[in-house]
Chain A
């Protein structure tokens, strides 16, 4: 395989499509091996504040691995992660969270018997002031108000803030998980296949939600198989193939055919 050509193609594409803003999060030449399998080979990636970047690619192209590395779930074998231009070590999801990055995995990680409010504040409870707080008493009013405001601001229609999440529709649960991530993330939100299990109406609502999150100045990284959804919501689309980025497009300048041909590796043979 001719790596130098691919990297060059990659860079030229990136130059052409990169935004004016400097990236908030950047991956440079990231390498990750599982035994003999090279999941990521010299992968590059960048996202700027307030930008929605979609990561697409065939199964096994390395999208999920890249997100796992960027969100601190796994460490890269080689390469650099830059946050706000500074190299960082993301040793754990907590480390990523402390930098202001939240991830919504496909399983959403909601506790089904808890309410939207409790899920929203789980692990970050608002405590009563003074002695009562020290005794572990929670400030339920503040948590309810905070959740209500967050859901309203992001347009997530959660009717029953006190009912168990497990009894709610897939769209509502997705909205709760995304709103939770957006509420706590100051900088970057990762979404892994947020529309995979949803109907048409619910998908529309989640895509709207993603736009609102980015309008608040948060960078959104979206992993998805659904090309129409990606083209609708993303600012830029980065295509991965065999563990590296092979192309970056502005969503409004690209076509489905172009994306599919990049995903199937047609680009990697070409010099541009």
Chain B
């Protein structure tokens, strides 16, 4: 009987093709970007064989990417829900300020002090995540606006607390052991921490119920609601996760730069969002991967490093990232239009509505 039905339904089998193509293409994007990254490393390596492809320089790239990767994991979850978090850079600064103040108040230079800073930074990040999440999920303000607001407000409060002057009194353990310390040999601690967080992010996104619900909400919130998912609650959790990671990144950033870098984060949201989008996570929601984001985030860092070495003005990096971001989203849009053309055009409309 099944065989008979199969035969009857052969037109469906033909229509199945776009499915494979859709999935293949998304897989492809992360792969394409991996190839692009390899090409970049190759070009810079050939142009500056003595300095670029050295252990020292690659270590530098990996270390520089570490904080971006931690922010990128949270951003990937948010973007998969068809949201966006512009506040990551400011939350990072705010959390660093709070952590620094807390550690100075406790005093000391050891691990206990760092632990206090860790808790303070994470709590500060969670607070902003909670504000973002509640405003997006409950008050229904578009995420672009909510996080634009918190981007401004979080940085503003950080400046009020510090009178606009960077704090540089982080304890020695944080800067020496974590910030630019190594775990074994010349493996930077920051890179290991980022690697662990990326790994946990991959498991959370692809293997757990939390991850599945994140995809479902970005794909079709109504489907999630009918399936009994607490859509609003889940959205809040996703923004809290992004805030928590931004808070943690703030502590690491403080250790790495020995400074709260108040005025140094204006490009951070753009770079993170661009990196995540370049890695194949769709700004329209429902699609994405942490692995892709990690690859995507290495591209701006590698460009920056390479341009400096071949004596090209590093500002070109921003130009390239901007162009790549728009190009990638354009391709994504085309792909979606092609994938949803056919029996149900309403899906496309639904996605466009979401991009607001």
Contacts and interface: CB of A to CB of B under 8 A. Distances in A.
B8 A205 contact: yes
A100 interface: no
Given A119-B223, A197-B343, A113 B208 contact: no
A118 B344 CA distance: 20
Interface string B1-32: 11001101101110110111111000000000
B208 A137 contact: yes
A205 B4 CA distance: 11
Q: Which of A112, A124, A201 has the most CB of B within 10 A?
A: A112
Q: Which of B210, B339, B342, B344 has the most CB of A within 10 A?
A: B344
A167 interface: yes
B210 A164 contact: no
B212 A125 contact: yes
The secondary-structure label for the interface of chain A is: loop
Contacts of B213: 122
A94 interface: yes
Interface stretch (A155-163, A216-224, A246-254, A255-263): A155-163
B224 interface: yes
Contacts of A208: 5
B219 interface: yes
Interface string A165-176: 011111111000
Nearest to B336: A166
Contacts of B286: 111-114
Contact of B19 (A93, A157, A160, A205): A160
Interface residues of A, number: 46
B297 interface: no
Interface in A171-222: 171-173, 197, 199, 201-202, 204-205, 208
Contacts of B334: none
Contacts of B219: 111-114, 166
Interface string B180-223: 00000000000000000000000110011110110110111011
A232 interface: no
Interface stretch (B45-53, B166-174, B226-234): B226-234
Interface residues of B, number: 47
Contacts of A166: 22, 219, 339-340, 347
Contact of B5 (A94, A105, A122, A157): A157
Interface in A102-120: 105, 107, 109-114, 118-119
Given A113-B218, A201-B8, A122 B212 contact: yes
A157 B6 contact: yes
Contacts of B210: 136
Interface of A: 93-94, 97, 105, 107, 109-114, 118-119, 122-125, 127, 135-138, 140, 152, 155, 157, 159-160, 162-164, 166-173, 197, 199, 201-202, 204-205, 208
16 contacts: A109-B226, A112-B340, A122-B227, A123-B224, A138-B207, A138-B209, A140-B207, A152-B2, A157-B12, A166-B22, A166-B347, A167-B22, A168-B16, A169-B343, A170-B343, A172-B12
For the complex of A and B, 4 pairs with smallest distance between CB atoms:
A123-B227, A113-B286, A163-B19, A167-B19
Given A122-B224, A163-B19, 14 more contacts: A109-B220, A109-B226, A111-B220, A112-B220, A112-B340, A125-B209, A136-B204, A138-B212, A157-B2, A163-B23, A166-B22, A169-B11, A169-B343, A170-B343
